[in-house]
A and B are shown apart, each in its own frame.
Chain A
Amino acid sequence: MSTAPTKDHPHLAADFNRDEPRVNWHDETLWWVRAKRDIAAHKLPEWELLRETASQIKFNVLSNLSTYLEQFEANAIKNGIIVHWAADATEHNQIVHSLLEQKGITKMVKSKSMLTEECHLNEYLKEQGIDVIDSDLGERIVQLANEPPSHIVLPCIHKKKEEIGDIFHEHLGSAKGESDPKILTETARQHLREVFLTRRAALTGVNFAVAETGEFVICTNEGNADMGAHLAEIHIASMGIEKLIPERKHLGVFLRLLTRSATGQPITTYSSHFSKPQNGTEIHIVIVDNGRSIQLGREEFRNSLKCIRCGACMNTCPVYRKSGGHSYHTAVAGPIGSILAPNLDMKKYADLPFASTLCGSCSNVCPVKIDIHDQLYKWRQVIVKEGYSPKAKTMAMKAMALTLASPTLYRMGGKTGRLVFKYAPFAVNNKLNPWYNQREMPKAPDESFGEWYAKRKGAKNS
């Protein structure tokens, strides 16, 4: 897979921004998906009630998580599912590998799981000599391109069909220059059908796990999770501890929200409930912490664990749409990823909470009502306090703090600023000002609010 990027978000975004028409296309495509979400949401009069209910259910889950985890485990075991626990990514990967090793399996088919991306499972298994094929079409495409997914719901949203055509020509033998999505999808169907029919092991993610019944639910449109799981001898499901919900009936709330928020669809084509293994096969579930219990203890960021991974916050985010998913250099990109990543490694991901305009659009669309933009703002404060703030931002903020602390400097600064805007716009519109990159700077007003107010007051009094 990809090598770990050494650049931070502004530099990676600048790379993405070099191709302006592509940025516009990326921006418009995601906005179109966001618009479909709005149409779907507005069709349900009870939309806000659903969001509130979902948020409250998740609150209850987080506040009783240890009980629900134990309850789920007991019920899953009763159902014949084998349960494993992994404290971190390494342990998760080792568990998966040992399960395959025990059966002498060297090839696995995998459906979408952002958790395994977070754990870098594919790279790990490759090093152990295990061949993994991703079966979600978007993930298969980025896997062949040797890239990570750039979006949690739309993994290859950054790729043009011509590029996908080239990848398929090289790896799957489709005709040179073929870029018709229908023909390319058919090519993938034939290739992956062979994979499904020959792999003895399948790994899937988990969308929801039900404490009351010990079952778990996987949602796909392609049916790839089911094809893989039902044909394999062993089905391994990887799940973060936060995926639990209390009772089966609560699925009704989340399944109504998930795809409407994601793409505007009323529900995925398949919402599959796995409760017991079929005759002669095994289901294993790996319950993974990997920093989640720490986040649970951070009162201000705890809410981020409510996330159901619909991607709505990414589709609506003006920064995500214009900087591309890879610029976030973490498995879960966009607004929610920028909250989750610093919990894992504050230094490495110190740049991400700053990759936001704090416009609040993410919080408005979030189906479980996570206060995303507030949390991003809070992360900034934590990061600055802990001394991890990104370099360029530190300088700018120091100057700003100084200016804001002194009324004289503030007034002077405003005046100078306006003069600079007016007579020397090149001083603002240049590469040294990170805000000017890919932005038109606003025109400066002729006078400041202070000046205008003083004049107005004077006029009134006279």
Chain B
Amino acid sequence: MSREKILAAVKFNQPTAMPLPDMEVLNTLTDVRTDLASKYKTIATAGGSFVYEVSGFDEIKTIINNEFKAGVKVISALNELSDYIYAETVKHEDGHNFADVELTVLRTKLGVAENGALWLTEKDMGSRVLPFIAQHLAVVIGKDDFVPTMAQAYQVIADADYGYGSFISGPSKTADIEQSLVIGAHGPRSLSVFILS
């Protein structure tokens, strides 16, 4: 069997055991004076996201109502945004049913200042395909929910149990044609981030 053959060959050919490096230094390289939310905003904006600092959910609703036509299909995973289809109620539907979703609104508790990434798990998404198949994506995050770098992000999720999770750092994009950046490849054409104070 190939399994045994491969494992035996690997075992035979691998060098003597080398230790793992110390990761503590990287974990503690944190500039505590930085305003993480504003650093996040700068990086995320440069990566093509629209970042709004808001004081409450009414403000988010107003922005969404201004940006999107009335009547389009919006799915929200937030209790506070109850005007829309609630993700929890449709999460067992076949992913193909979401092909006509205009906007998905999700909530996260972890954002990374150094690269604009937001951590979202299957639980936050309802259905895994939702943040990808929707024409637009919006994510709500608290202003204290940011960590400086990926090192601290993985400290937060070190033992988390999830079926699927993704760091999402902007709208879907490509630069495959002569390195020209085009926003809106296969996934959402925009990412709006609402930082709640």
Contact = CB atoms under 8 A, between A and B. Distances in A.
B2 A60 contact: no
Interface string A115-142: 0000000000000000000011110010
Interface stretch (B54-62, B67-75, B82-90, B155-163): B155-163
Nearest to B157: A248
B116 to A, nearest CB: 7
Interface residues of A, number: 91
Contacts of A274: 164
Interface stretch (A83-91, A317-325, A342-350, A360-368): A83-91
Contacts, number: 243
B99 interface: yes
Interface in A91-150: 91, 135-138, 141
A224 B185 contact: yes
Residue from B29, B168, B178, B188 with most neighbouring chain A CB atoms (10 Å): B178
Residue from A29, A57, A66 with most neighbouring chain B CB atoms (10 Å): A66
Contacts of A266: 43, 47, 114-116, 169
Contacts of B99: 193, 197
Contact of B162 (A87, A156, A270, A273): A273
A62 B16 CA distance: 9
A60 B170 CA distance: 33
Contact of B166 (A33, A56, A224, A226): A226
Residue from A154, A223, A248 with most neighbouring chain B CB atoms (10 Å): A223
A341 interface: no
B174 A222 contact: yes
Interface residues of B, number: 73
A368 to B, nearest CB: 12
A185 B177 contact: yes
Residue from B25, B155, B185 with most neighbouring chain A CB atoms (10 Å): B185
A249 interface: yes
Residue from B12, B13, B25, B112 with most neighbouring chain A CB atoms (10 Å): B13
B9 interface: yes
Contacts of B32: none
Contact of B13 (A56, A136, A297): A297
Contacts of A440: none
A151 B175 CA distance: 14
A295 to B, nearest CB: 8
Contacts of A269: 47, 168-173, 187
B25 A49 contact: yes
Interface in B98-134: 99, 112, 114-117, 122, 127-129, 132-133
Contacts of B162: 273, 275
Contacts of B185: 137, 185, 188-189, 221-224
B133 A227 contact: yes
A302 B173 CA distance: 35
B186 A135 contact: yes
A251 B167 CA distance: 12
A145 to B, nearest CB: 13
Contacts of B11: 66
B56 to A, nearest CB: 29
A154 B171 contact: no
Contact of B7 (A70, A161, A255): A70
Contact of A66 (B10, B129, B153, B180): B10
Interface of B: 1-3, 5-7, 9-21, 23, 25-26, 29, 43, 47, 92, 95-96, 99, 112, 114-117, 122, 127-129, 132-133, 149-151, 153-155, 157-158, 162-180, 182, 184-188
6 contacts: A60-B17, A182-B180, A222-B186, A271-B117, A279-B92, A289-B10
Given A223-B172, A266-B115, A267-B167, 15 more contacts: A50-B26, A85-B3, A137-B174, A137-B177, A159-B178, A181-B182, A192-B186, A222-B185, A223-B186, A249-B155, A252-B150, A256-B114, A269-B171, A270-B169, A272-B164
Interface of A: 29, 32-33, 45-46, 49-50, 52-53, 56-57, 59-60, 62-66, 69-70, 79, 85-87, 91, 135-138, 141, 154-157, 159-161, 164, 181-182, 184-186, 188-189, 192-193, 196-197, 221-224, 226-227, 230-231, 241, 246, 248-253, 255-256, 263, 265-279, 287, 289, 293-294, 296-297, 299, 302
